Amino acid sequence: MTERKLNVHSENWSEEPFAISRGIDDNFDVVVVELEQNGFKAWGEATPTEHYNESISQTESLIEDFRNRIENGISRT
């Protein structure tokens, strides 16, 4: 297996207003995860929510805690 590389960073996404019972938002701080292996790339994102005491830095830190396992081939099984 060739090396798997993990990249974690945050971005700000401005979108159409999104409304739920707690309010309306059109500006989202997003944690983006990129994985690259064998020339293939995959992306995923998360939007930490203050209502649940989540933050960008906390989410990035949790992902970084798993960096070695992810880059070394962690799986769901």
Q: Quick one: tokens of 34?
A: 């990129």
Q: What is the mean pLDDT of residues 10-17?
A: 89
| Residues 12 and 27 sit within 8 Å (Cβ to Cβ) | yes
Which has the closest alpha carbon to 35: 11, 69, 76? 69
pLDDT at 26 > cutoff 90: no
- Domain locations along the chain: 5-14+25-71
Which has the closest alpha carbon to 24: 15, 32, 33? 15
Name which residue leads in pLDDT, 6 or 21.
6
Q: What is the pLDDT of residue 1?
A: 60
pLDDT tens-digit map of 33-74: 999 999 999 999 999 998 899 999 999 999 999 999 999 988
Tabulate helix, strand, coil % of the chain (nearest 5). 25, 50, 25
Which CATH superfamily does the domain covering 5-14+25-71 fall into? Enolase-like, N-terminal domain (3.30.390.10)
In what helix (H) or strand (E) does residue 23 lie, and over which residues does it extend? strand 23-37
